[in-house]
Amino acid sequence: MAAAAAGPPPPTPTPDSAITLPENSTRHSMFVRIRLAGKSDVPHIHKLIHQMAVFERLTHLFSATETSLSTTLFNSPPFQSFTVFILELSQLPFPLDHHYSNPNYTPITQSINLDVPIDDPDREIFRSDGGFVVAGFVLFFPNYSSFLAKPGFYIEDIFVRESYRRKGFGKMLLSAVAAQAVKMGHGRVEWCVLDWNVNAIKFYQEMGADVMQEWRICRLTGEALQAFGN
């Protein structure tokens, strides 16, 4: 789950890199892509959400299945309802595949150099159709600010798998959502953060987000929702 906070300042959009190998061959070259997810990505999305529940110590609240995700996601055009960006990596340049012809969103691609290779024990179970490795995701949907009289985006989930953390990938996902908000003329992006996750709080503050201590989340769910709704 991701934080109720004022949105970050308009970002400099993550540049699309030329699809060529990085010049510095003495380091470990990787290619990163952020693209729209679809129904075929649901098995990976389900595994990512479960890993996020484990990280947030909230597995007792986790009841999503691949079937329930397939039923509730991807029923509306992207950015008009629930939208998912997938973060995936490859050791070779990404091909100009069907994701690049998607009229709703052109993927962001970037080449990076790492000092050491990424050790990912779950690499094979997070292999996507093209042979790339899914490393993270962000799930968001429209909301509205009556004070600004503008729509915005609310980030429900943002998650990067453990092997890929502290490499700038979370920032790339947030930047992709913020850039889409700017492109659409939205007024803000907001999300939630757990109060014990001090590393995430520091990261969000450093990127310009206002962590609003005075706000509290109120939630009706389960039996309380049923009782109050009757």
Catalytically active residues are 204
> Ramachandran region of residue 210, left (φ > 0), alpha (ψ -120 to 50) or beta?
beta
DSSP per-residue letters across 70-109:
HHHSSSS-TTTS-EEEEEEEESSPPP--GGGG-TT-PPEE
Strand segments (E) across the chain: 5-6, 28-36, 83-90, 108-114, 133-145, 150-160, 189-191, 210-211
Residue 12's identity, in one-letter code, is T
Any bridge partners for residue 210, and if so which? Answer: 6
Rounded distance between C-alpha atoms, residue 160 and residue 126, angstroms? 12
Rounded distance between C-alpha atoms, residue 147 and residue 53, angstroms? 33
Rounded distance between C-alpha atoms, residue 31 and residue 112, angstroms? 6
Rounded distance between C-alpha atoms, residue 137 and residue 160, angstroms? 7
